[in-house]
Amino acid sequence: MKELQLKYGCNPNQKPSRIFMDAGELPIEVLSGKPGYINFMDALNSWQLVRALKEATGMPAAASFKHVSPAGAALGGTPLSELERRIYFAPEGLSPIASAYARARGADRLCSYGDWAALSDTCDADTARLLAREVSDGVIAPDYTPEALEILRAKRGGAYNAVKIDPDYSPAPTERRHIFGITFEQGYNDLRIDREMLTRNIVTKNRELPEQAQLDMLVALITLKYTQSNSVCYVKNGQTIGVGAGQQSRIHCTRLAGSKADIWRLRQHPYVLELPFIDGVRRADRDNAIDIYISEEHEDVLADGAWQKVFKTRPPVLTAEMKREWIAGAEGVTVGSDAFFPFGDNVERARRSGVQYIVQPGGSIRDDNVIETADKYGIVMSFTGVRLFHH
């Protein structure tokens, strides 16, 4: 098949719409549903991300995409801990690829609502069952087990999108796009991100870069490579915990991603883990309630009695001081940036979310100030010399 007709483009008024190959066959096969234009943009970007993570780490990887940027990305090299199962609402005994998706989806559940999922490995029944219970648009994977495909084809009465991609497909070395009738051309970004890139130029006084930090740096950089720029990414234990995409200033990326990392951290607070949800509450309502509960305005919501719609009893108040203390306990977090930090304020903000490791291109005229700020906190910072803009 050389082309696939689509219902419409980014918006209903943008017709006709299709995906096609100039030469050869499309490397994808639609096994269920009828993916649209944006679905395929998410699918192909997310597939590149998980493929690169698998190549760089040797571990199964998954991503949760929304509007051509990852809401979350994660590795499945280790089983979910009891705490992870609780905060991601995941069952015990998940397969490695299902564990990866549970982490990717759980990184930012609000932004993952209605996501496109990508899997580096065959979609198995464990992963299909996770997808079946979530509000999700579709999934792309190199293959599907018969049981997984049966589960996915039953979702939405057969309308759920499942796409199979040829894992051996490689794009042409030159890519083109059209903007306002004008053709742009550039080389495909086949830059390989590896461990050597992380250790060749550590610029801080603290140069101790443990194995886990190196792995987290790989996750950060590869995630950033497929995130709309400007972008900053916080990572811990092989999964993103905060992605800031498409901001015009670097510090706003760092703040946005940092606030998401703080929310991820707050979801582990004992008060949140013990929230008394009513039986049968919908998953989306539960996630919204958690977000409100840990937000700054939740005391007003509790006072208004809105809690009765989702909670059996009135939850205890999680004060601003309690939240600050809990967030201050974060540690071992890595942050990556797709371009250099122009000022030390980015390091200051990152540190507030437990960042101890930073990876970025370097090259700012104020690198000395950025390094000085990192040294003030004993942070390890690596300069890669490589920019990762993605548009």
Catalytic residues: 66-67, 230, 391
Separation of first and last alpha carbons in the chain: 28
Please list, in sequence order, all residues whose beta carbon lies within 8 angstroms of the beta carbon of residue 350, skipping any fewer than 6 positions away: 234, 254, 258, 333, 335, 358
In this structure, what DSSP letter does residue 134 have? S
Helix ranges (H only) for the chain are 37-57, 82-88, 96-106, 125-133, 146-154, 195-199, 211-225, 250-266, 270-273, 283-293, 298-304, 320-328, 345-351, 367-376
Instruction: Report the C-alpha gap between 167 and 182 in whole angstroms.
Output: 32
DSSP string, 13-77: TS-SEEEE-SSS--SEEEEES---HHHHHHHHHHHHHHHHHHHHHSS-EEEEEETTEEEEEEE-S
| Spatial contact of 291 and 310, defined as CB atoms under 8 Å apart | no
DSSP 286-330: HHHHHHHHTSTTHHHHHHHTGGGGTBSSPPPP--HHHHHHHHHT-
* Residues in a beta bridge with 358: 335, 381
Comparing CA positions, the residue from 383, 321, 322, 325 lying closest to residue 354 is 325
Question: From its phi and psi, is residue 264 left (phi > 0), alpha (psi between -120 and 50) or beta?
Answer: alpha
Give the tokens for residue 65: 């995409």
Measure the CA–CA gap between 63 and 91, rounded to whole angstroms: 19
For residues 294 and 318, the answer to whether their CB atoms sit within 8 Å is yes
Q: Quick one: which H or E segment has residue 139? A: strand 136-141
Q: Helices 125-133 and 146-154, interaxial angle, to 10°?
A: 10
